[in-house]
Amino acid sequence: MLKPAHLIDTKDLTKQEVEEILERAWFWEKNREKQLMPFAGRFAANLFFEPSTRTRFSFEVAEKKLGFHVLNFSENHSSAVKGESLYDTVKTLVSLGVEVITIRHRDPEAILELVERNPGCSIVNAGAGALAHPTQSLLDLYTIKKHFGELAGLQVAIVGDLAHSRVVRSNLWSMQKFGIQVILSGPPEMRDPELERLAPYVPFEEAIETADVVMMLRVQLERHESKLFTSAEQYNQAYGLTLERAKRMKPGAIIMHPGPFNRGVEIVDELVEDSRSKIFEQKANGVFVRMAVLEKVLQGGTERENIVEKWASIG
Amino acid sequence: MLKPAHLIDTKDLTKQEVEEILERAWFWEKNREKQLMPFAGRFAANLFFEPSTRTRFSFEVAEKKLGFHVLNFSENHSSAVKGESLYDTVKTLVSLGVEVITIRHRDPEAILELVERNPGCSIVNAGAGALAHPTQSLLDLYTIKKHFGELAGLQVAIVGDLAHSRVVRSNLWSMQKFGIQVILSGPPEMRDPELERLAPYVPFEEAIETADVVMMLRVQLERHESKLFTSAEQYNQAYGLTLERAKRMKPGAIIMHPGPFNRGVEIVDELVEDSRSKIFEQKANGVFVRMAVLEKVLQGGTERENIVEKWASIG
Amino acid sequence: MLKPAHLIDTKDLTKQEVEEILERAWFWEKNREKQLMPFAGRFAANLFFEPSTRTRFSFEVAEKKLGFHVLNFSENHSSAVKGESLYDTVKTLVSLGVEVITIRHRDPEAILELVERNPGCSIVNAGAGALAHPTQSLLDLYTIKKHFGELAGLQVAIVGDLAHSRVVRSNLWSMQKFGIQVILSGPPEMRDPELERLAPYVPFEEAIETADVVMMLRVQLERHESKLFTSAEQYNQAYGLTLERAKRMKPGAIIMHPGPFNRGVEIVDELVEDSRSKIFEQKANGVFVRMAVLEKVLQGGTERENIVEKWASIG
């Protein structure tokens, strides 16, 4: 029996492992019309303790394209299922024959504790609180690489609600590993001092003009108690990607957004499907990247023991 | 890339297209034991913003028999998902590889707006408010044709809550196209003047005796504020299909109901599975008709461009 | 058309039928890596009117391993769906092509009434109120047989909330049929006089020392109005399986639990995955036993008419 590997965060991956995943995703994209199904008849499960239909569907499509039977579990009451209870649920699924489980959970500690206890299957983090969202980061990398060819030397501006985004952390790790210069921007009230030890904070109007990738983050105005912005329009005017700002973007620069996006808040309607926007292509790419990730964690073990150890390491 | 076709309402179909669907449904019924699965490995999604387990299951079975992987999405909070948001959800599914989506929505405008924006996949209306339910109408036609052989010249009485039924509108269009004489009946308080410009309103006791098909509609007494009927028994006595009334039906006439039915309200218990009743056969037929519809919208395009245009037309 | 067979409770099975199921489960366990899928392309449905994700997943895995397409229906509002309504829902699924339906329902009468009305498909009881849970009992037998080889002469102690457990009843029938001596134990306030007409009640400290199988039942302290135990610790000390008590178990004796278990209440944390514990193996075995059960009810009919009659008998 191979020891199962996991994907908890991008920082557990070496540069070479990320490259292998991106290359394999490209294999799946090229062969997307073929019914290869290397895992036909085997079982995967999606445990979503926080609702996210779109991410769950992306994993479900990836799993089914790989040939898996899929078990779906969704629940809103996150806090209840922690510690013993999450472990017992996962261990039950393993007993039923499930080999890989994707988990979305509000509390990042829940997934870490689970993996530490060795539940006997591969775990893929599908979004943990505001901490990590590794498959989103990998698909972002894949999307950028497909467009620019080379990653090193690019500048990516991540703009918006930095404090509440799980994508920023995962992206900082993986992008910097590839020589991408990440800059942060957005309303001062949504800054996160911890992140700024890793990447510089830059005024929005400046970031717009220097970045090769303008990555807008979802803003949930209702989350901010201070009520700095009294309306979507007000936010959009100050920190949204408007037509005027898009005009000032570098030639060849692209627009990205991890979704779900708010039209008219962090990005104006007209730009969502603009020729520079990769927003829906990101979703398409996500399927191929997740196929590669699922495949990789399931191949963990034997001569890859060292890698596996590290994949499982969650410090 | 073919331009995707849609099925929004029966009135968008020519007589020939309806005939093709009914003929193809017959093909699927004859071959129901075979695992043909022409769409193996491809993706369909059911987006139900109004709960309807039975209709969703009917589409899910049809899709799986065609070989599709199926993604299911159900939500009760209809009003929230409209306009941009519905479009973005659909567009996300398309990005994931979904080729056909069935939608049930309380607001008929939602589906029309969606199709106008060309989301990049085929849309099948699975019930839109009180406006249209085209696959229900097609399976009604199929059921009648299987029983009588010839459609032209038959009389169909549609009886009950005309004002709230989405089936009546779709059926009026398709039945009259085939030379069926539709008559309307039921409590005066549930009449709909708009419908009566298209078909005559006839007293119930008369309709029972002349119709070849007595189609009873679901009555939701709680929906009617005037509280005309104080009990199910009272409604049943005045406007339900009772044993006494069934005795006065024409020889060879049949009973239909789009479901879900209320035993003891619009139809007495004993008649639901009477030999004249096609109620459960309608459900069986629904699978084959939906297979034919899904297949047809997915074949839209190329030399069928004109038809496609019309299928997509929603005026 | 064969007459469909059902599995309503273990008491409807002959000893030989149980043996056939256990033997066939062993066949499925041995061949668990193969994709045999004898029911490929056919339809099964799980109707759960009481939430039980784990049991539903067990059936879903069993069904998918047999090749079935699976339709899932879950609802919390059990009482609403009874009598006509449950029958009509099932009959609709049958019309769509579903051949076997598993049902969990709070009210045991609901399943009995349904089967009496011959809905046209096989029904498997997936847990009915506090009355019966036949597949749990069969997987318990299978687990014991795999460990001990011979069933006759073993002693099984069932310990805990006897009054509220649906497993005890199903197990008493099937275990005694195989010459297993069942003894009951637990808090006096959770005794059930009806059960004690079938098996002796024994003090807990004594049962621990004589039983070959110590089967702990889930205790829901909040269910007991008398509030006999003011805390989980108090219950655990008086009637839980503690390390001290486990030390006094017979050599070779095993620990079982139908789940879901409460760590620290009826069983201490350290024993759940103790080498004597079969708790997660029970879940693995459940898949193979359920595969055998689904297969058996679907083969009902023709020359097996007598057996079928009895399977369907629900007195």
Q: Is C48 helix (H, G, I), strand (E, B) or coil?
A: strand
Please give the structure tokens belonging to residue A89. 């649920």
Q: Residue B287 and residue B265: Cα distance in Å, rounded?
A: 27
For every one of its 315 residues, what pLDDT tens digit does chain C have, with 9 covering 90 and above?
456 799 999 999 999 999 999 999 999 999 999 999 999 999 999 999 987 888 999 999 999 999 999 999 987 654 456 566 899 999 999 999 999 999 999 888 899 999 999 999 999 999 987 778 999 999 999 999 999 999 999 999 999 999 988 899 999 999 999 999 999 999 999 999 999 999 999 999 999 999 999 999 998 776 666 666 778 899 999 999 999 999 999 999 999 999 899 999 999 999 999 999 999 999 999 999 999 999 999 986 433 333 334 444 433
* A4 or A239, higher pLDDT: A239
Q: Are A125 and A136 contacting, i.e. CB atoms less than 8 angstroms apart? A: no
What pLDDT, on the 0 to 100 scale, is given for residue C122?
97
Phi-psi region of C153 (alpha: psi -120 to 50; beta: other; left: phi over 0): left
**Cis? peptide before C260, omega within 30° of 0:** yes
DSSP-derived letter for residue A3 is: P
Among the listed residues C41, C60, C65, the one whose alpha carbon sits nearest the alpha carbon of residue C104: C60
* Chain C residues interacting with chain A (CB cutoff of 8 angstroms): 32, 35, 37, 53-54, 57-58, 60-61, 64-65, 259-261, 263, 269, 272, 280-281, 283-284, 286-287
Indicate the residue type of B294.
L
Query: Residue C124 half-sphere exposure, CB side, CA atoms within 13 Å?
Result: 29
Q: Is A6 helix (H, G, I), strand (E, B) or coil?
A: coil
Instruction: Give the number of other CB atoms < 10 A from CB of residue A155.
Output: 17
DSSP A149-217: S--TT-EEEEES-GGG-HHHHHHHHHHHHTT-EEEEES-GGG--TTGGGTS-B--HHHHHHH-SEEEEP
Whether A53 has a pLDDT exceeding 90, the answer reads no
Please give the structure tokens belonging to residue A15. 């540069």
pLDDT-derived band at A315 (thresholds 50, 70, 90) equals very low
Rounded to 10 degrees, what is the CA torsion of A71, A72, A78, A84? 0
What pLDDT, on the 0 to 100 scale, is given for residue B217?
96
Q: In what order do the strands lie in the sheet with A213-216?
A: A181-185, A155-159, A213-216, A254-256
Best mutation target among C55, C61, C68, C136 (most A Cβ atoms within 10 Å) is C61
* Chain B residues interacting with chain C (CB cutoff of 8 angstroms): 32, 35, 37, 53-54, 57-58, 60-61, 64-65, 259-261, 263, 269, 272, 280-281, 283-284, 286-287
Q: Residue A179 and residue A146: Cα distance in Å, rounded?
A: 16
Instruction: Give the number of other CB atoms < 10 A from CB of residue C146.
Output: 15
Q: State the smallest CA–CA distance between residue C124 and chain A in angstroms.
A: 19
CA distances from B250 to B175, B247, C166, C292 (A): 20, 8, 52, 50
Best mutation target among C73, C81, C85, C88 (most B Cβ atoms within 10 Å) is C88
Q: State the smallest CA–CA distance between residue B103 and chain A in angstroms.
A: 16
DSSP-derived letter for residue C310 is: H
Convert the pLDDT of each residue in A265-284 to its tens digit. Answer: 999 999 999 999 999 999 99
pLDDT-derived band at A313 (thresholds 50, 70, 90) equals very low
Mean pLDDT along residues B290-312: 65
Q: Are C189 and C226 contacting, i.e. CB atoms less than 8 angstroms apart? A: yes
Q: State the smallest CA–CA distance between residue C63 and chain A in angstroms.
A: 11
Indicate the residue type of C192.
D
Q: Is A308 helix (H, G, I), strand (E, B) or coil?
A: helix
Please give the structure tokens belonging to residue B155. 């009389």
Q: Are B298 and B39 contacting, i.e. CB atoms less than 8 angstroms apart? A: yes
Provide the ipTM: 0.92
Q: Is the dihedral of CA C201, C203, C208, C211 positive or negative?
A: negative
Q: State the smallest CA–CA distance between residue A187 and chain C in angstroms.
A: 43
Which residues in chain A have Cβ-Cβ distances shorter than 8 Å to B41?
A: 35, 37, 65
Nearest by CB to residue C95, choosing from B35, B37, B284, is B284
* Subunit contact C84:B269, Cβ cutoff 8 A: yes
Q: Is A222 helix (H, G, I), strand (E, B) or coil?
A: helix
* Subunit contact B283:C92, Cβ cutoff 8 A: yes
* Subunit contact C97:B287, Cβ cutoff 8 A: yes
Among the listed residues B294, B299, B30, B258, the one whose alpha carbon sits nearest the alpha carbon of residue B139: B258
CA distances from B65 to A68, A76, B4, C68 (A): 18, 32, 21, 11
Q: Are B132 and B8 contacting, i.e. CB atoms less than 8 angstroms apart? A: yes
Q: Are B71 and B43 contacting, i.e. CB atoms less than 8 angstroms apart? A: yes
Q: Residue B218 and residue A110: Cα distance in Å, rounded?
A: 48
DSSP H or E run through C254:
strand C254-256
Domains annotated for chain B, with CATH where assigned, are 10-132+283-312 (3.40.50.1370), 135-279 (3.40.50.1370)
Beta bridge partners of A214: A157, A255
Best mutation target among B31, B257, B283, B289 (most C Cβ atoms within 10 Å) is B283
What pLDDT, on the 0 to 100 scale, is given for residue B231?
85
The residue in chain C having the minimum alpha-carbon distance to the alpha carbon of residue B59 is: C96
